[in-house]
Amino acid sequence: MGILSADKGAYSRKLDLFFRHPVVEGALLFLISASVLAAIASILFDHLFLEWLNLFFSALFSVELTARYFTYGGKEKDYVRDWWMDWAATIPWDVFLSFLFPGGGASMLRLLRLPRIFRLLRFRRLKKSEAARWLSYRFRRLMEVSIWRQSLTLLLVSLVFVWVFTVLLDRVGMNSEHGGNFWFSLITMISSDSIFEMQGQDSLVKGLVLLLSFIGIVLFNGILIAIIIGKLMERLGEMKDAGEVRERGHILLLGWSECIPHILDELESFCVSERKHPVKVVVMGETPPSPSGWPLVPKPHVRVITRTGSFQNEDALERISAHRASAVIVLGESSSDRKLSERLNDPIVTRTLLALETLLGDRRKRGWTQGWKSDRSPVIILNYLDLGNSLHVTDFLRPFGSENRRIFFNPLFFTGRLISSMCLNPYAEDIFNELMTAEGNEFHYVSPSIGRGMIWRDIAGAFPKSVPVGYRDGNGELRMVPFPDEPLPEDAGIVVLSENGWNAALFDPSAPGGRQDGKGPSLFCPMGGLPSGTLVIVGVNPKLPFIIEGLGRLAMKITIADNQTEEEFAAWYAEYSRTPLPGGVFFQECRFRSEEEVRRAIDIGGTDRIILLADGHLLNAATADRIDAETVSKLLMLSRLIGQEKREDIRLIVETLTVDSEVVVRNIRNCSNVIGPLTIGRLLTTFALQPEFEPVFRSLIQFGDIDIVCCPAEAALSGNPEGAPLSFGDLLSMPRNGSIPIGWVVPPPGSEDGRKTDPGGLRRLAPTVMLNPPKDSLLPPGAEIIFLHREA
C-alpha cells in the first residue's frame, strides 16, 4: 500500500490510520472473500439477488478505493501505480459490456467478476501473523516428512477439487457418459483428454472443465512428478554423499588434491596402452573442491565414483570398501588456507592410516575366526609433507603382520629432486616424463624362465623388444644395473624397459648375449666431473629445501632471489627446512619491478643455470593460472636480459602448476618445464599400479647410487672404426661394467648443438629423446647415449 506523505492534513492522516487498523483490514478481508464467493455463485446460479449483491460489493469497494486516494496527498501517479489492479477487479465490467453489447453471453460476462480474487493479495500482513506462520510451518513439515505423506496430501487435495467440481457440474446440469460427474471430474483431473468430449455443451460447462483440466495438469501431474523427482534426486544426493561402495579391486583416493585429474588421465592412458579392463576410482573427501561438486569427468576406461564425508574412521573406510581396494592413496585434505592445510595434512594422513590398519586387522581376525581368507592388503600410499611425522607410527604398524605394502610419499621431495636432477642432466625432463607415463617406454616386471647358472650377461639380448635393467630375487630385494658376470637367482624376476607389458614379456634365451672375448668395440659410461658454475633460483616455495639438498654434492655457487628481505627469507627457510641453509648459498632481495633491479640482484653474464619456481607467497591467495601468469612474466623479463647479454647457453628450468602453461613457456624459450601436480599425479599412479618400483624412482630422481647419465657416443665408444654403423642391439651386447644403455638423444636435423631455430615458430628445435629404440636401429650421427649408471 501507499505510504502516507509528510505534508498530508490531519484528516488524511486519520483516514490512512483507519485503513491500517487490524479490525478494518479484517473486515475488508471478510468482505472481499464474500464478494469472491458471490461472484462464483452468480456464475453457477442465475438469481437476481446475486446480481444485486455483486453490484453492492462493486459500489462498496469503489467507495473504499476512492477514500484511499485522499491518503496519497495528491500523488496521483503513486496511487494509480499501487491500486490500478484493485480498480480493475472492482469495476462491474459485465454490466457495462451488457449495455454496450446487448445479447452477449451473460454467463461468459460473469466470469469477469473472478479477478476480485486478486484483491486478497493486498493483505500481506496476514502472511506474517502467528496463525498463518503456524499453518505454513505445519504444511511444510507435512511435506518434508516422507514421499508417502506428500503423495497422500496431494491425493487429498485432488479429491477435494474433484468433489467441488462434481458439485458444480451437477448444478449446471451436465450429464456425463462416464458413470456420472464424479468419474468425469476424476478422469479430467488425471488426464485432459475429456475436454475433447465437450462438443455441444454450454460455454460455462466448457470453462469449468477447462479450469479443472488446468488444475489437474498443474496440481496432480506437475506436483506429483516434482515430488517423485525431488525425492529421487534427494536419494541420489544421499547416495553420492554417504552411500556405500561395494566394489573390489578399485583405486581409492582419500582427500582432494589438484593432482587427481592427472591421476585419472594416467589411468586412462595405462588402460589403453596395456590393454587393461576399465578401472574404477573412488574419490572421497570431506568437502568438494568447488560449490558445483567434484570436477572429475569419467573417461572411457576410468569409472569415477565420488563420496563426500570424513574418511578418518574405520566405519567410513569400510563403507567405501577400502579393505577390498587394490590401492589406497591418502592425499590428506586441502583448504583455502594453505598454512592450515600444511599444518593439518600430516595428522589427517596419520589418523587415516591408523583407521585403515585397524580395519584391515579386524578383517583378518574375522577371516581367521570364520574360516575364510581375507582379501589381500591394498597398496597404501601416504602423502606426507614431512616424512619425519611418519616415524612415530612404525611401531603401531608392526602388529599387523610383516607384509609391507605401504609407501610413505613426499610430493615436495620428488618434485624438488626432479628439478635438481635437471641441473645435472639437460634431458632429465623428457626421460622422466616417458618413464613415469604409460605412453612410451616405462619399467615392467616379468618372470621369464631363468636357467641354472645363468648370469646377467646371458640375458642382455634375450628380450627382443625390451631392455633388461635389473632383477628382483625371491625375497623381494630389487637390484638395478647388475654387473655382467653377476649370477641370476632361478626365481628372479626381471625388470625391463619396454613400451608395454606384452612386449616386455617376449623372452628368447637363445638370443646372443654380451660378448666375453673383449674383441671389437667396447662401451663405457664416463661420468666426468660434477657440474660447476653459478646457479640462480628465482622464487621460493616449500620445494626449495629439497632442491638445495639435492644439489649439495654439486660444486656450484647458488644464489636465491626473491621478493622478501634476507631476514624474512631466513625465517621462512627455518620454518620449511629441518637443516640450516648450507654454506655457499646466498640470498638477494629482488622484487622484479624493473630490469635494472633484476640486473643488480642477478649477474646474468656469470650465470650458468636458472631455476624459476612458482611463487610460494601466492599459493594461499591466487589460483594456479594466476601464479603461472606471474611466472611467465618473470620468464619474459629473464629471457630479454639473457638475450641482451648474449648468453643463449644459459639453461632454464621453469616450474609451472598447469598443463596449459607448458606451451606458453616453451614458446618463450627452449627450457625444461616441471609441472608439479602433473608430476605428482604420474608418480602416484605408477606407485599404485607398480609399488615395487617406488625405490627405483626414489634412487633415479636424486643424484647418487643409480643415475641416468647422457654422454656423447664418441666419448662412450672405444675400439670402433670411424664411421662404422652400430645398432642399438650392438650397444647392448658390448662389454660394459656398471652401466646399461637404454636409448639415445638425437640432435635436431641440420644441427649439431640443438640450438637451431624453427623458422615456423618461436621456440628452438630441441633434441629428441628415444628410449628403447628398435634393436636394429642405427646410432644416429652426433647422438648422445643414455645410460643407467651405477655409482662406483
d(CA 546, CA 412): 7
d(CA 669, CA 635): 9
Give the pLDDT mean for 306-317. Answer: 88
Residue type, 600: R
Neighbours of 416 (CB within 10 A): 28
Q: What is the pLDDT of residue 454?
A: 87
Give the pLDDT mean for 693-722. Answer: 83
pLDDT at 138 over 70: no
d(CA 209, CA 202): 11
Q: Give the position of cell 637404454.
A: 742
pLDDT at 458 over 60: yes
Q: What is the pLDDT of residues 268-281, one digit of tens each?
A: 999 998 888 999 99
Neighbours of 37 (CB within 10 A): 12
d(CA 232, CA 147): 10
Q: What is the pLDDT of residue 636?
A: 92
Instruction: Rank 192-201, 346-355, 546-555 by mean pLDDT and report only the highest.
Output: 346-355
d(CA 426, CA 651): 8
d(CA 706, CA 718): 23
Closest alpha carbon to 683 in 703, 698, 699: 698
Phi, psi at 769, each rounded to 5°: -90, 125
Q: What is the pLDDT of residue 128?
A: 55
Q: What is the pLDDT of residue 772?
A: 92
Closest alpha carbon to 650 in 694, 609, 598, 591: 609
Q: What is the pLDDT of residues 733-792, one digit of tens each?
A: 886 778 899 999 998 876 544 444 444 444 456 788 999 999 889 999 889 999 998 876
Closest alpha carbon to 792 in 495, 481, 468: 481
Q: What is the pLDDT of residue 325?
A: 93
Confidence of residue 511 (pLDDT cuts 50, 70, 90): low
For 456-498, the DSSP string reads: GGGGTT--TT-EEEEEE-TT--EEES--TTPBPPTTPEEEEEE
Average pLDDT, the chain: 80
**Beta strand 379-383 pairing with 406-409:** parallel
pLDDT at 5 over 60: no
pLDDT at 612 over 60: yes
d(CA 503, CA 501): 6
pLDDT at 484 over 90: no
For 293-310, the DSSP string reads: ------BTTEEEEEEES-
Contact, 168 vs 181, CB < 8 A? no
CA of residue 573 relative to chain centroid, distance: 31
d(CA 90, CA 93): 9
pLDDT at 591 over 70: yes
CA of residue 542 relative to chain centroid, distance: 23
Confidence of residue 4 (pLDDT cuts 50, 70, 90): very low
List the single range of 21-35, 293-307, 386-400, 716-730 with lowest mean pLDDT: 386-400
Phi, psi at 296, each rounded to 5°: -115, 120
CA of residue 711 relative to chain centroid, distance: 41
Q: Which three cell numbers stand for residue 305?
A: 565414483
Q: What is the pLDDT of residue 681?
A: 93
* Segment holding 261, helix H or strand E: helix 260-274
Residue type, 238: E
Q: List strand residue ranges (DSSP E) for 713-765, in order.
A: 717-718, 739-746
User: Exposed, middle or buried: residue 468 (CB in 10 Å: 0-12, 13-18, 19+)?
Assistant: buried
Which one has a higher pLDDT value, 379 or 52?
Answer: 379
Interhelix angle 147-171/130-144, nearest 10 degrees: 120
d(CA 542, CA 412): 7
Residue 704 region by backbone torsions, left for phi larger than 0, else alpha for psi between -120 and 50, else beta: left
d(CA 789, CA 706): 6
Which one has a higher pLDDT value, 60 or 75?
Answer: 60
pLDDT at 263 over 90: yes
Contact, 454 vs 487, CB < 8 A? yes
pLDDT at 399 over 60: no
List the single range of 26-35, 108-117, 208-217 with lowest mean pLDDT: 108-117
Q: What is the pLDDT of residues 63-91, one digit of tens each?
A: 888 888 887 766 777 778 777 777 877 77
Q: What is the pLDDT of residue 73?
A: 66
Q: Which three cell numbers stand for residue 18?
A: 483507519
pTM: 0.72
Q: Which three cell numbers stand for residue 362?
A: 579386524
Confidence of residue 597 (pLDDT cuts 50, 70, 90): very high
d(CA 285, CA 310): 7
Give the sign of the dihedral formed by CA 84, CA 121, CA 75, CA 24.
positive
Residue 603: partners with Cβ closer than 8 Å, 6 or more residues away: 534
